[in-house]
Amino acid sequence: MIIVDNVTVAYGDLVAVADVSFTVPPGFVLAVSGPSGAGKSSLLWAIAGAVPVKSGQVEVDGLVITDRPKAAAHGVVLIPQGNGLARVLTARENLTIPLLADRKPSSDAELEEVDRAIEQALTAVGLADSGDHLVEELSGGEQQRVAVARGIAQQGKAILADESTSELDSTNRERVLDLLRTQADRGAAVIIATHDPSVAESADGHALMDEGRLSWVRRL
């Protein structure tokens, strides 16, 4: 459950998110759309603990979000715009790092479980044969799918996908939306920031951001 309670995010004098409140229960997918600069990424970063809130509070499954490391350890997964991948590492290595950091496997069985989760996630995004490729060798759309695979492999409580289908063809867009839906079905609360009307249409709820303010197109 993501609870956003009167959240304001500011960069100096610029208010990027203005007194926004909503709740996303487990099992639901919320789409947030709006023009460039409306504050969508800032909202997701605040939920992820990646930028401080100026006022208000974000809570995810009982944890008040204060910083990114604690939020990540609690299962708040951010799939950032621009993918946030290490370009000189392979696709598989990019998936491995957060899983090792989170799970700290201490036995062969736990390491095998991490390997299995990685292979499953790469297969799910259609990149089973690309795990050994350096990220910088992959196309923009393939990199975007690696970022999604990294996100879903973490099996988070909250999944925040920032424009995660922007570079995908329709087949892969459907594939990624299905994967995010599957994450909701297993109990995650999912938020997708998107410019794509078809992505917004596929979500359970649709909010619009404009100049930091949030209004509803379709309520959860």
Ligand X SMILES: Nc1ncnc2c1ncn2[C@@H]1O[C@H](COP(=O)(O)OP(=O)(O)OP(=O)(O)O)[C@@H](O)[C@H]1O
Name the site residues for ligand X (rule: CB under 6 A).
11, 14, 16, 34, 36-42, 81
Query: How far, CA to CA in Å, does 204 sit from each of 48, 110, 180, 198?
Result: 21, 35, 12, 12
Q: Cβ closer to ligand X: 71 or 122?
A: 71
Q: Cβ closer to ligand X: 65 or 91?
A: 65
Q: How far is the CB of 207 from ligand X (least distance, A)?
A: 12
Q: Cβ closer to ligand X: 96 or 164?
A: 164
Q: Measure the CA–CA gap between 81 and 78, rounded to whole angstroms.
A: 9
Q: How far is the CB of 192 from ligand X (least distance, A)?
A: 12
Q: How far is the CB of 34 from ligand X (least distance, A)?
A: 6
Q: How far is the CB of 16 from ligand X (least distance, A)?
A: 4
Q: How far is the CB of 7 from ligand X (least distance, A)?
A: 12
Q: Measure the CA–CA gap between 3 and 61, rounded to whole angstroms.
A: 8
Find all residues with CB under 8 Å of 144, minimum gap 6, and list them.
83, 164, 165, 166, 167, 168
- Contact predicate 203/176, CB 8 Å: no
Cβ neighbours around 138 below 10 Å, total: 19
Q: Cβ closer to ligand X: 81 or 183?
A: 81
Largest distance between two CA atoms of the chain: 52
Q: Cβ closer to ligand X: 2 or 9?
A: 9
Cβ neighbours around 193 below 10 Å, total: 28
Q: Measure the CA–CA gap between 206 and 220, rounded to whole angstroms.
A: 8
